[in-house]
Amino acid sequence: MAKGYLNYVLHAHLPYVRHPESELYMEERWLFEAISETYIPLINYFQKLIDEGIKFRITMNISAPLITMLKDDLLQKRSLKYIVERLWLAHKEIYRTKDNKALNDLAKYYYYRYKEQYIIFKRTYNCNLIDAFKKFQDYGVLEILACPATHGFLPLLNVTPNASLAQIANGVQVYKETFGRDPKGMWLSECAYIPEVEPILKEFGIRYIFLETHGIEFADPTPIYGTLAPIVSPSGIVAFGRDLKSSEQVWSSINGYPGDPHYREFYKDIGYELDWDYIKPFVSKSGHRVDTGIKYNKITGKTDYKELYNVDDALSVCELQADHFIASRIQQVNDSCTRNGHPTNYHMSI
C-alpha cells in the first residue's frame, strides 16, 4: 500500500494586458515572454512524455484572463511576431559571434530553440496554445483547474457577496466554454479562503480547492498532518494546502534550486548590452531597452563577472536536482508516517 502521493500543481496566470490601440505598451511582453519561456516548453515536454510512453499526471490552473489572452487573435499574431523576431535575432547572433566558438554555440542553441517554438506555436497549434492544453486534458494526463474570473481576491471582494458570486460564476463559465466540461476543482486566487464562498463553490459543482499553507494549518480543528494531507470542510469541499518545503526548493534563490550557479543569469540579456542600432528592432517599440530572451551568461555567483552559460552543464544539474526533489519528498512522507502514523489519503501540493 502506498504511503503517499505527490501532487504536482502548476499555477498559470497573467493580468489582462491586451492593447489593441498600440504596440507601444510593454505589458504585452509579459505574455509573449511567458509563452516563449514557459507555456511552449511545458507543452513540448508534455508531448515528449506522451511520445515516449511515460505515464504522468499533472494538475494545472489556467486563469480566465490568461485563457482569454491565449485565445485572442490579435495577441496570437503579436506573439507569433515576437517569436519570429527572436528567431531572426538568434540568426543574426550566429553571424555576429562566428569568431567566438562558445558564444556561437549558444547563439545556435537559441536559434534552434526559437525555431522549435515557431513550429510548435504556428504549425502544430495554429497559435492557439489553449488547444494544446485541452488536448492533454482530453488525453487524461492533465487536470485543468478553474479560477475566479479576474483572479480577484475573494476575502476582500466578499464585502459585496455578489462580487464573489460573479467571480466564481464567470470563472466557471469561461472554463466550460473553453474546455467543454465542468471543472472539478478551483485554484482560489492567491490560495485565499473564507467560509462564505463555500456555498457558491458547491452551487457550481466545485469539489476541491487549493489553499495557502496557513489556510490548512490554522483550520479548526488543527489537521493532524498539516498540509501533507487534504482536509474536508463541513460542506464537503476538499482542500489541499501548499507545502512549504516543496515550494522553498523550487522557488527560493537562496535555499532552493533557482539560484544554482549553473543556471542562466536572468538579468544579463543582450537587449541591454549590444549596440543600440543593432538591437533596436528587437526591443520595445517605444524605444526602451528590454529583455530579448537571449542570455549568454550563467548565475555564477554573487559577482559582477558572469561566466558563459553551458546548456549541457545546466541540464545535468537539473537532473540531479530533480532526483534530489523526489528523494526529499519520499523522506518527507516517511518522516510524517513515523511521527503521525499512516494517513489514508496523503497528498502534497507545490
Taking only the tens place, the pLDDT of each residue in 114-153 is: 999 999 999 999 999 999 999 999 999 999 999 999 999 9
Question: Residue 91: inside a domain, yes or no?
Answer: no
Q: Is 54 exposed, middle or buried (0-12, 13-18, 19+ CB in 10 A)?
A: exposed
In a domain, 316, yes or no: yes
Q: Is residue 12 part of a domain?
A: no
> What percent of the chain is predicted at pLDDT more than 70?
96
Q: Rounded CA gap, 279 and 27, in Å?
A: 19
| Domain-embedded: residue 77 | no
- List the beta strands (DSSP E) in 126-255: 142-145, 185-187, 208-211, 231-232, 238-241
Q: Please give the tally of structural domains in the chain.
A: 1
Q: How confident is the model at residue 345 (pLDDT cuts 50, 70, 90)?
A: very low
Give domain status of residue 280, yes or no: yes
pLDDT at res. 1: 67
Q: Residue 326 is part of which domain span?
A: 243-339
Task: Take residue 16 and report the three cell numbers written for it.
Answer: 489582462
Read off the pLDDT band of 347 (50, 70, 90): very low
Q: What is the per-residue pLDDT for 118?
A: 98
pLDDT in tens, 283-311: 988 888 999 999 999 999 999 999 999 99
63 assigned to some structural domain: no
The confidence score (pLDDT) of residue 348 equals 46
Q: What is the DSSP letter of 124?
A: I
User: How many residues does this entry show for the chain?
Assistant: 350
Contacts of 25 (CB under 8 A, 6+ apart): 17, 19
pLDDT of 82 strictly over 50: yes
Cell of 214: 496557513
Q: In what order do the strands lie in the sheet with 231-232?
A: 185-187, 208-211, 238-241, 231-232
pLDDT for residue 350:
47
Identify whether 183 is part of a domain.
Answer: no
- Whole-model pTM? 0.93
Residue 257 lies in a domain: yes
**Cα separation of 144 and 303, whole Å?**
41
